[in-house]
Amino acid sequence: MSRENFRKQVERAANNPEAGRDDRPRGPRPGQRPPLRVFTTTLWEYPSQHYDAKDSRFQGSKDYAGATPSWVIWQLLQRYTRKGDTVLDPMCGSGTTLDVCTDLERNGIGFDLNPQRAEITKNDSRELPVENESMDFCFVDPPYSTHIDYSDDDRCIGKLDAGAPMARDDVIPGQAYYESMEEVISELYRVLKPNRYMGLYVSDSWRKQKGVKGGVFMPIGFELFSIMRDYFRPVDIIAVVRGNTKLQRGNWHKSAEQDNFFLRGFNYLFIMKKEAG
């Protein structure tokens, strides 16, 4: 299916209250996905979560809730790394970053509190067992507040509510979430070589709350971007169109209209550089 036809199908489904049944578009099947090319604008879209690798191997696991679209990592590695570079993902989950590294002949290092594979080391990313200035690139796709229950580990940042009420007037909502994320970001700064780049992939979040008109909006993207600016130089901000099949559910669109909120249509990809000195 051409990209244009796929887009038309998605648009039709988004406006169709019956969408969400089994006849909804699912995107191209393995072997039918368009070949990847380096994207040149700040709006990224691809009609599948994964690309077709040469050896038909899948990147990460499609069954891991919250797995990163592998083509996003592919785009970053094509632009900001070379063959043989070492790439770190401190929240590696199902190992998508490691598989893209294998495809592109980079050395991937993965940590996670809930490792899904033997090559991923169990570790809290607020303290990385990695030497200072030893990594050529870092990629991280953290939890976006509490929207997915990743594991029973109390240290999981996905247990911290980015919309938690302010404890005092002088702190922001969700302070514990942002403080933890700052620890992760400062670790990435420490381990990255000077003049090298990192990417952080994240979405804002919204949830309904009884008694709160309009629900609770959590501007996670802007808050994390402002934390990262204290460490890194911003290189660019990419909007990545979300191809989540849940976005095609007619009843979700109906409630978004009735209750006057927005479904999340894009993720941010922040690209940052660690300046020398």
Ligand X SMILES: C[S@@+](CC[C@H](N)C(=O)[O-])C[C@H]1O[C@@H](n2cnc3c(N)ncnc32)[C@H](O)[C@@H]1O
Q: How far is the CB of 191 from ligand X (least distance, A)?
A: 14
- The Cα angle at residue 273 between residues 158 and 194, in degrees rounded to 5: 110
Q: How far is the CB of 140 from ligand X (least distance, A)?
A: 8
**Nearest position to ligand X, beta carbon:** 93
- Kindly tell me which of 39 and 64 has the beta carbon lying closer to ligand X: 64
Q: How many residues does the chain have?
A: 277
Q: Which CB atom, from 93 or from 163, has the smaller least distance to ligand X?
A: 93
The pairs formed by 24-29 with CB atoms below 8 angstroms and a separation of 24 or more are: 24/245, 24/248, 25/248, 26/245, 27/243, 28/1
Q: Give contact residues for ligand X (rule: CB under 6 A).
A: 60, 64, 66-68, 91-94, 96, 111-114, 124-126, 141-143, 150-151, 155-158
Task: Say which amino acid occupies 132.
Answer: N
Q: Which is nearer to ligand X, 113 or 185 (CB)?
A: 113
Distance (Å) of CA 138 to CA 2, 5, 193, 209, 216: 33, 35, 10, 35, 31
Shortest reach from residue 16's CB to ligand X, in Å = 29
Of the pair 149, 275, the CB lying nearest ligand X is at: 149
Query: Which residues, in sequence order, are bridge partners of residue 145?
Result: none
Minimum distance from residue 91 beta carbon to ligand X (Å)? 3
